[in-house]
Amino acid sequence: MAIVVKFFASLRERMGCAETTLDAQQVKTVAEVWQRVADGEPLPANLLMAVNMEYAEADSEVRDGDEVAFFPPVTGGAHDR
């Protein structure tokens, strides 16, 4: 019974890994997943989150077998030429 947690972009470096797993019985929401993997660090207000590749909110529920992803907001984009 596990939840796979993935980190992207600068969060990968900050967390020191690209992926980890948690016991599904230890967490019920995305916010609780963050608390476990970030050693109690507050959830950044602008952090993007996804559950099973669908954007999610901090209070979104997680279940055994889910994949939870955290990534910083994307900046940039197309430039006028």
Extents of the domains making up the chain: 2-71
Residue 52's pLDDT is: 98
> Domain spanning 2-71 has what CATH number?
3.10.20.30
d(CA 62, CA 68): 8
pLDDT in tens, 3-14: 999 999 989 998
pLDDT grade, residue 40 (50/70/90)? confident
Residue 5's pLDDT is: 98
d(CA 26, CA 29): 10
- Residue found under tokens 């907001």: 73
Residue 69's pLDDT is: 98
Asked whether residue 68 carries a pLDDT value surpassing 90, the answer given is: yes
pTM (two decimals)? 0.87
